[in-house]
Every structure is written in C-alpha cells, then in structure tokens.
Structure 1
Amino acid sequence: DEMGQAIDEVAADDDIRVLVLTGAGQAFCAGADLATLKGGSDPGFLAAENTDDIRRGFRLAQKMILGLQRMEKPVIAMINGTAVGAGFDLACACDIRIASPKARFMVAYIRIGLFPGFGGTWLYPRTLGSMGKAAEMLFTGDFMEADEAYRLGFLNRLVDEDQLEATTMEMARKIAAGPPIAIRLSKLMLYKGLEFDLDTALKMAAAAETITLTSYDHEEGTRAIRESRKPFYEGR
C-alpha cells in the first residue's frame, strides 16, 4: 500500500518535521463508501467475498490510521473537499484540520449497512467534541457541513478555497520551525493523556519536562530570547 509506505517513510525521516495530508482531486477522500452509494463498480475490498481478503484490506487501512496517530510528528489535514467513510476517519486521525467551505463530512457506513471498521467509534467522540454528535453521525449517515465542523472545533481553521494551501503551509512551517523534541513529546502526551488519570499524567509530564530541560533546543530557545532573535532548533 503506497500511502501506508509513505507514512512509514515520513515517520522514519528525521528531516521531516510535519506531515500535510490532502486529496489529489476534488475530494479529500471519498472512499469506497461513496462509490458504493453512487452505484459505482469499485467499492474496493469491502466487496470481496473471501473473508481473508476483507481482513487483509482492513489491516492495511487500519495501519494508515494507526500510522498517523502513532507518528511522533504533527499531521495536518488540508481538507479540500468531501471526506466520506474511511476518508472522514483519515481526517479524524490527523492532529490539525484546515478546510475550505467545500469540505463536507459523512460517516456513510450506516447507509450501506456497515460498521465503521477504521476506528471511527474511537475517533469520533474525541474529535467531534461530544458523544452526542458522534452518535448522530454514526446513526444517521448525514453530512456535516464545514461551518458546523468549525463551530464544533473539529476544524482548526475554515478559510476561503483560494487561501487553503497558503494557510495550511503557514501552519506547517510554523510548527516545523519549533523545537522537535518538545513538539513530539507534546503530541505523545496529548493522546496518552486521554488514557491517564491525573496522577499518571503528572508523573509523565515530569519525565517529559526533564528531557526537554536538558536539551540543546531549550538552551537555544532561552538564548534566542536573550539575544532578541528567532531560535534555530536542531532537535537535540
């Protein structure tokens, strides 16, 4: 799977500090679900008759979701259109989401009698801000428009279509210019914190802060403030 391999390569390349994920065409990712809803002939592995092929397809798709979530580096979704089914799940698996008004989101699985097999029941409550909205999208298969997604906090930015790429890349460059160690630890603890109690979170925070306090980047950051200049972080 090309996308899975690309995610692995980005994760392993220390010269890459941020990943931006976007669609190649008019949609962010329509998925096999939309093709099926429209009567298309290529719903992908969901139409496989062999259970082993179906399971293999799920494993490949789930690997992409896990790869984005587990990646130490921040992942930004630049959402240029419709995100349906597994495409919506991919958007949910990203850390930051920036979209144009053309963006629309739909769970879709329920419309064709399917369960969301790509982590949706874990992702939706965490990204949509409430169990109620997650349940609504799961049970109805209705679209969520871009303006509602922004109001709910699912989208970090909602910008005009002609500003989408510039806004996204500005965010990516800003993050990429930051201290890699502190940012990677922040992402790790951000998601792990959803599983920890406060006592465990405080202990992990002390361990992470010890790492950053002894880093070159911390010295560089404080030195840059004293010298009234921009810091140059090296990730060490």
Structure 2
Amino acid sequence: MTYQAISVATQDGVTTMTLNRPERMNALSGQMIKEVVGVLEAARQGNGTRVIVLTGAGRAFCGGADLKDLGGPAGLLPHNSAESKRQGLRLGVYPLIHGIRNCEVPVIAMVNGAAAAGGCDLALACDIRIGSEHTRFMESFARIGLFPGTGGCWFLPRMVGSSKAAEMIFTGDPIGAQEAYQWGLLSQLVPHQELLDRTMTLARRIADGPPIALRLAKMVMQKSMDMNLETSLELAAASESITLTSEDHQEGLTAFLEKREAKFRGL
C-alpha cells in the first residue's frame, strides 16, 4: 500500500508507523489520520501484527493538528458552525484516538521529540510511552484559546492525578522528559541514541508473548478503569476462561516444565 503522510514497516510481528511530515512537525492532517486508522484497523482484524510502534519523523513526535489549514477546505475542521466542528471532531479526529484504544494489539509510542496538543493526546492514548531527553509533552491548547478536546482531559488525570493534569492543561506549559518519567507519562526514559533500539527490544519481547492473553489484558485494563473491583474481577474471570483453554496456555506450561522458551501462536 502507498502512504502519503506516514511510513509503515513490519518485521517479526512488529509494525512501525512513522508520522512523516517532518517539515510540519508531523502535524495531524485528515490524510494522516485516515492512514494511521487504516493500519490500526488492519492489525485489529488480524494481519499478523502483534505490536505497533508509533513515532514521528525528524525532531518531533507530533505537533498536533495542522493549524495552518485547520479551518481550510482540506483542514480537519473546515466548517464554521459549532455543530459542524463538533461533527468534524467526532468523525474526522476521534477515530484516531478510538483506533488506538480499540486496536487489540499493544501500541507503543516512541516519543522521539515534542508531543504537543493533539500530538500529546495521541501519545497518551497509546498503551506504553518510551522517551528520551528530547521528549516534551505539552497540552498547549490553552495558548490558542482551546482545551484538550482529543482525550487529554480523560487521560491526564488518570495518569498524573488531577492537580498535575490541571496545571498542564490550564497553563499549556511543556513538561520535560525527566518530569514526564517521574510523573508516569513515560514508562522508560533512555538516551536518545538508544531510543530506537530500546523501543524495538521491548516491542519484540511483547510480540513474542501470547497474543490472546495480551489482547485480553489490554481490554480488561482499559475497561477496569471505569469499573469497581467486583465487576472487574467478573470480566477477568470471563477473559481468563478463554486463555485457560487456549493452545498458547498449554504451550506455556509445557515450555515452563521443559525449561525452554515458549512459542506462542495465538491459538
């Protein structure tokens, strides 16, 4: 498949998507969103991808929506009325966030540089974030009279607490890599020259894991955020009954007893 706004490469079950508009800080466009959502949907439907890595070309991860033509004919929100812009977000932008959350395979954000506004929310939507000293998170919406309408108001309080989330959202100030790591926005903070290798090492390790169990784990973790413990345990019991009767579980047990690496096939 030919891509205009991203590049895609797959090896050993790991699909790497690179937002490829470096001259525009990888700003989100309608074409870019369409292409990313297409890759996510293909993985969800089962194309052999076990892990997705999302990153940006050049010095930025993603600078958010392309403000240069945001309201233009080719922009993300081309109409003037409030209702039309609401529909533009729901139909043109939110499929990107839903696509990541609903994709059954783990999605890792390799945050190679600035993640601002919608680009920040894009990174937050991913399951894991790995960064370097070049990483910056910035909910910069307030600087142009907006607020995080692409998921930041949901993700941030759950990740860093309400006070820190409010500070980031109300000020629009950037959060550096060390703070992001201390606050839990990054699961790993590595030297920039090691960012690719360390991210791919983790991605391959996850890709070698049991696909059914990992898909169910992602689903249960997400749904449990809005459940009480009892309901979460009921969902876990239903899900674990699937893994307990899988061939992967039998392979895992056999490999453990034989003291060898398991070879999971997603069956």
Could you give the per-residue CA deviations for residues 74-100 of structure 1, whole angstroms, max 9, x where no partner exists?
000001100000000000000000011
Q: Name the aligned partner's letter for residue 122 of structure 1.
A: W
Task: Give yes or no for the alignment of 1:102 onto 2:124.
Answer: no
> Which residue number corresponds to residue 16 of structure 1?
49
The more displaced of 7-16 and 189-198 is: 7-16
> Which residue number corresponds to residue 249 of structure 2?
218
TM-score (norm 2): 0.81
* Distance in 1, Cα, partners of 2:217 & 2:47: 17
* Distance in 1, Cα, partners of 2:70 & 2:92: 15
Matches within 5 A, 1:40-189: 41-43=68-70, 45=75, 48-51=78-81, 54-58=85-89, 59-127=91-159, 129-189=160-220
CA contact (8 A) 1:20 1:75 kept: yes
* Distance in 2, Cα, partners of 1:4 & 1:192: 21
Q: Name the aligned partner's letter for residue 189 of structure 1.
A: V
* Distance in 2, Cα, partners of 1:56 & 1:196: 29
Q: Name the aligned partner's letter for residue 150 of structure 2.
A: F
Cα distance, 1:57 vs structure 2 = 3.6
Aligned length: 229
* Distance in 2, Cα, partners of 1:10 & 1:221: 24
Cα distance, 1:123 vs structure 2 = 1.2
> Which residue number corresponds to residue 25 of structure 1?
58
Instruction: Give % identity.
Output: 48
* Distance in 1, Cα, partners of 2:211 & 2:41: 18
Task: Give yes or no for the alignment of 1:231 onto 2:233.
Answer: no
CA contact (8 A) 2:76 2:93 kept: no
SS of residue paired to 2:62: coil
Could you give the per-residue CA deviations for residues 154-207 of structure 1, whole angstroms, max 9, x where no partner exists?
101111111000000001001000001111111111011111111111111111
* Distance in 2, Cα, partners of 1:151 & 1:115: 24
* Distance in 2, Cα, partners of 1:93 & 1:225: 34
CA contact (8 A) 1:4 1:60 kept: no
- Correspondent of 1:3 among 36, 40, 43: 36
Give the root-mean-square deviation of aligned CA atoms. 1.6
* Distance in 2, Cα, partners of 1:181 & 1:155: 25
Mind listing any 5+ residue stretches in structure 2 that lack a counterpart?
1-33
Cα distance, 1:55 vs structure 2 = 3.7
* Distance in 1, Cα, partners of 2:266 & 2:77: 45
Structure having the larger proportion of residues in strand: 2
* Distance in 1, Cα, partners of 2:231 & 2:78: 44
Mind listing any 5+ residue stretches in structure 1 that lack a counterpart?
none
SS of residue paired to 1:31: coil
TM-score (norm 1): 0.92
Cα distance, 1:137 vs structure 2 = 0.6
Cα distance, 1:25 vs structure 2 = 2.1
Cα distance, 1:126 vs structure 2 = 1.8
Structure having the larger proportion of residues in helix: 1
